[in-house]
Amino acid sequence: MRQGDGAIIRIAQLGAGRMGSVHARNAAANPRLDLAWIVDPRADIAGALGHETGAQVATLAAVLADPEVRGIVVASSTDAHLDDTRACLAAGKAVFCEKPLDLSLERLEAAAADFTRADVPPLFVGFNRRFDPHYRLLKQRLDAGEIGALESLQIVNHDPETPPPAFIPGSGGLFKDFTIHDFDLVRWLVGEPVVQVFAWASCLIDPEIAALGDVDTAKLLLRTASGKLCVISNSRRSGYGYDQRIEAFGAGGALRVDNVTNSAVSAWRAGGAQADAFPYAFIQRYAGAYQAEMDHFADILAGAATPETGYAASRAALALAEASALSAREGRPVALDKE
């Protein structure tokens, strides 16, 4: 445990659920941050997380009124993200909001002024892929011109297991809940606007998902302004862990991010070489990304960085999700408005 040297910045967090626990632990372990308050109406989980991380339980009003609090992590329920974020920003607090900022493009755009006015504090929306060290290195090497001009991308994003049916109705559907990461990845890696999207989706895995009006399997094509072609493959259930891969094809070859494994241990038996398993799911696979997000928030609070992803990236990814849903529904490519 490191003791203070004056540069430590006080923050608070809204939400003590699954993602809230991840962020609160990372905040507690971050030597530049002092997680002072946890806000969650569920007193039991708020208390437990506070005990674990050394934070006190408080109300949102109290947190907003604490002049020492300079930043707030918004990890409340998805449908509260937008209002919570606006309240925090309005109180002059920088915000690190767990994605998504909102599930409605219309609502998001209606609130645009609250994010884009001149003196609004910084808003960072946590798109975890951009903070994964493997993807970040891929991006660096692409930008360094290692394979020349990028021509096409292929992303595989398959979850290990279907979510419980109760998760589906509030999720926003596959494109807004799950593919949203891939939309942001594509935008980040290609560095130019996506102009058109085509999506086919099926419910091949879990009939309960179909009964709830959602899909569990999708293949999408995205085309950028200069004609680059991107493929996204989504599945709600891989059967083999969390499948997170990118292939970038360019004039001078390809750069790839393969799946990581839980360890470098392998077994050789009669059937052949068996590598260790892939990480179970996003909590394990992106543990380093969530730490890096918290570091990025500390940088923002310290004035050393501006948010890599905020309102604009949230809006653009959500627009792609809505366009994809429309494409899948109507069976035709859908053009994107100019960003």
Q: Where are the beta strands (DSSP E) in 77-177?
A: 94-98, 123-126, 150-158
Picking from 156, 152, 173, 135, the residue whose alpha carbon sits closest to that of residue 222 is: 152
Is 146 a binding residue for a second copy by CB under 8 A? The answer is yes
Number of residues that bind a second copy (CB under 8 A): 86
Is 141 a binding residue for a second copy by CB under 8 A? The answer is yes
Is 200 a binding residue for a second copy by CB under 8 A? The answer is yes
Is 236 a binding residue for a second copy by CB under 8 A? The answer is no
Strands 150-158 vs 194-202: parallel, antiparallel or unpaired: unpaired
Site for a second copy in 44-73 (CB under 8 A): 51, 53-54
Q: Which of these ranges, 77-85, 111-119, 134-142, 174-182, lies near a second copy under the rule CB under 8 A?
A: 134-142
Contacts 24+ apart (CB under 8 A), 283-289: 283/18, 283/22, 284/242, 285/242, 285/244, 285/260, 286/128, 286/129, 286/131, 286/132, 287/22, 288/131, 288/132, 288/133, 289/128, 289/129, 289/130, 289/131, 289/132, 289/133
- Applying CB under 8 A, among 92, 145, 207, 239 the residue interacting with a second copy is 239
Is 119 a binding residue for a second copy by CB under 8 A? The answer is no
Q: Tell me whether residue 92 or residue 253 sits nearer to a second copy (CB atom).
A: 253
Quickly list DSSP for 282-334: HHHHTHHHHHHHHHHHHHHHTTS---SSSHHHHHHHHHHHHHHHHHHHHTS-E
Is 151 a binding residue for a second copy by CB under 8 A? The answer is yes
Tell the smallest beta-carbon distance from residue 268 to a second copy (Å): 4
- Applying CB under 8 A, among 221, 283, 287, 305 the residue interacting with a second copy is 221
Q: Tell me whether residue 167 or residue 280 sits nearer to a second copy (CB atom).
A: 280
Q: Which of these ranges, 15-23, 115-123, 147-155, 166-174, lies near a second copy under the rule CB under 8 A?
A: 147-155
Site for a second copy in 158-187 (CB under 8 A): 158
Is 252 a binding residue for a second copy by CB under 8 A? The answer is yes
Site for a second copy in 267-296 (CB under 8 A): 267-278
Tell the smallest beta-carbon distance from residue 42 to a second copy (Å): 21
- Applying CB under 8 A, among 77, 152, 162, 284 the residue interacting with a second copy is 152
Q: Tell me whether residue 113 or residue 270 sits nearer to a second copy (CB atom).
A: 270
Q: State phi, psi for 305 to the nearest 5 degrees.
A: -155, 155
Task: Tell me the CA distances in angstroms from 87 to 47, 101, 299, one per residue in order.
Answer: 23, 13, 22
Helix (H) or strand (E) holding 209: helix 207-211
Picking from 289, 302, 274, the residue whose alpha carbon sits closest to that of residue 70 is: 302
Is 86 a binding residue for a second copy by CB under 8 A? The answer is no
Is 8 a binding residue for a second copy by CB under 8 A? The answer is yes
Q: Which of these ranges, 104-112, 113-121, 180-188, 196-204, lies near a second copy under the rule CB under 8 A?
A: 196-204
The overall longest dimension of the chain from CA atoms, in Å, is 66
Task: Tell me the CA distances in angstroms from 18 to 14, 40, 61, 104, 244, one per residue in order.
Answer: 12, 12, 23, 23, 21
- Spatial neighbors of 91 by CB under 8 A, at least 6 apart, are 64
Site for a second copy in 293-332 (CB under 8 A): 331-332
Q: Which of these ranges, 63-71, 82-90, 169-177, 256-264, lies near a second copy under the rule CB under 8 A?
A: 256-264
Is 31 a binding residue for a second copy by CB under 8 A? The answer is yes
Q: Which of these ranges, 76-84, 164-172, 176-184, 237-245, lies near a second copy under the rule CB under 8 A?
A: 237-245
